[in-house]
Structures are given as structure tokens and as C-alpha cells.
Structure 1
């Protein structure tokens, strides 16, 4: 057998894919949840000192969140204490349905993607993490686990944001 060599074009493609995946994972993609005070379609990152409510959310290997239906008021800043009770990695990502479905497609291509966005937390088995979020608009904010196969198995929920 002849040894196979990687061409410079293949190296270029690999580098481009790696850089685009890194930028996406760092939250630099279109439609992502911004950092600091940047408001999005679902609100904005909250300030810990302004938290008005703490909600505990458990993630399990039966591909469910407890609770999966949450109610908050417009303007409220909520601390979500998220715990992975399972034996596999799970995440909780806040977003519109459209954003979550777009991100789901990216996760299928890059399943080991790391997140550094204030509206997302990825946890290994037994880990606990937090999201602090201010809900600035009424309506529905969706959340889901976008690890490959988890969303499709039903790992999703909704936050109803009511008037003040």
C-alpha cells in the first residue's frame, strides 16, 4: 500500500473548519446570545446582584428537564441552578425555537463544541452550573439540550414570560 499524504488544500479546509467551529463555540456566530448588556430576542444576560428568583433545574438521562415548564415575569432576573443528574453530558441552552434548531444542526456537525455564552451551560455527569438571565420581553423562551440525539428524544422545555 502506498502511504497517503494530506494535501495543502485538505489542511486549509481543516484549519478553516477548526477556526469556524472555534468562533461558533465562542459565541461569535450570527443569532447567538451576546455578552455583557447586549439584548437578544429572549432577553439578556442577568446581573447576579439583581436576581429576584432562583429556579433549580435537573437534567436526567431519560432526556427530560425537571421542571420543563417555567413561568417568570417580564423584567425579572432569574438564576437557573442546573444539575446534571445523569451519567452522560447534558446542556441547557436558552433561545428562540429557531435559534435552538439552528444550533442543533451545528451541534450535529461539531458534537464536542464548547460553549462560552451566558445563555448556555454544558455539564458533565454530576456537575452543577448556573445561568443568570434577565427576561426583558413577554412571550416564550425555549430551552433544550442540543447534544446529538437529546433534543430529538424530547429534552426541551419552555419558559413563559408574563407581564410585570
Structure 2
């Protein structure tokens, strides 16, 4: 029984250390072509098609500024995401359901690596970017899915208005 308790304690320490390790990692975009996969909330955009840049700030008070964004259907947006905090943060676009599922996985597996064109990880004091084409109308969400951040309210809304080109 003592051996089992020692193994469980060691495993728990490893998990908690992993959570801290993820906090400071620099998640640079990997070189190569962007995966263009249609999602409910759009598809990866081309830099040449960008018509507008939206700056988004992230802070350790677990908030985005702005936290409400409106775009027109068909718009390709370049997001410039600035981390003004001392912790790693990220911006992930999706539906509420997809973000909730991903956030739950991040709590269970805090060192899980993930890299998609609709997300960017930004280290403290750094700036990241993401280019996304909102080719479907609707109400979507964005969030920081680092363990605990989503649960603390680090979320925002994107409204894609139909008919714009």
C-alpha cells in the first residue's frame, strides 16, 4: 500500500509540474503550409486576402480586450494578439461546444500540444497573429484554453454578419 501511495504521489507531482511547464512554453507556429480545413466558424485565411487587422490584448486578469468582435461573412481578418500578462495565454476560435470540450481536455492533459490555424499561443510580453476567413455567418466564441483560464472567464464572442463580402 505504501508503494502504491508513493507511486500515486509521484504521478500527481509529475502532472502538476507538467501544468507549470506548459505555462512558460513558447508555441511557435511550425513552418510549412497551413492546414485549410473548413470549420463551422470558417477556414484558415491567406495573408494576401486580409482586409482588416484586429488587435486583441490578453491579460492575467483572464480577460480579452476587446471581448466582442463583429465581422462580415467572407472577411479575412488578421488578428494581432498581444499578451500583456506574465503568464502564457492563447486565443482559440470555435463554437462554444468545441471550446468547452477542448478546455476540459486541457485540464486533464495540461501539457497537451495543439496547433491549428484558428489558435495562437503567446508567451508573456509577446505578440502572436492568426489569419482567419469567416466564410460562414453565425455567433462564435474565442477563448484561452490553458488549464484554468477558460474556467476563470477568459472568453470572448465573434459575430459574423451574413451577406458581407
Q: What is the aligned partner in structure 1 of residue 76 from structure 2?
A: 77
Q: What is the aligned partner in structure 1 of residue 146 from structure 2?
A: 147
Q: What is the aligned partner in structure 2 of residue 60 from structure 1?
A: 59
- CA shift, 1:113, in A, is 2.3
- What aligned pairs does 1:10-159 form with structure 2 within 5 A after superposition? 36-159=35-158
Structure 1 unaligned spans of 5+:
7-34
Q: Is the 8 A contact 2:92 2:145 kept in 1?
A: yes
Q: What is the aligned partner in structure 2 of residue 11 from structure 1?
A: none
Q: Is the 8 A contact 2:35 2:116 kept in 1?
A: no
* Aligned positions, number: 134
Q: What is the aligned partner in structure 1 of residue 159 from structure 2?
A: 160
Q: Is the 8 A contact 1:135 1:161 kept in 2?
A: yes
Moved more, 112-121 or 65-74: 112-121
RMSD: 1.7
Following TM superposition, the consecutive aligned residue runs of length 4 or more in structure 1 with deviations greater than 3 angstroms are: none
TM-score (norm 2): 0.77
Moved more, 127-136 or 112-121: 112-121
Distance in 1 between the 2:74 and 2:89 partners?
A: 28
Query: What secondary structure sits across from 2:135 in the alignment?
Result: coil
- CA shift, 1:114, in A, is 2.6
- CA shift, 1:154, in A, is 1.0
Distance in 2 between the 1:103 and 1:119 partners?
A: 13
Distance in 2 between the 1:160 and 1:132 partners?
A: 16
- CA shift, 1:3, in A, is 8.5
Query: What secondary structure sits across from 1:146 in the alignment?
Result: coil
Measured against aligned partners, the alpha-carbon deviations of 1:6-39 in whole angstroms (never above 9, x if no partner) come to 9xxxxxxxxxxxxxxxxxxxxxxxxxxxx53321
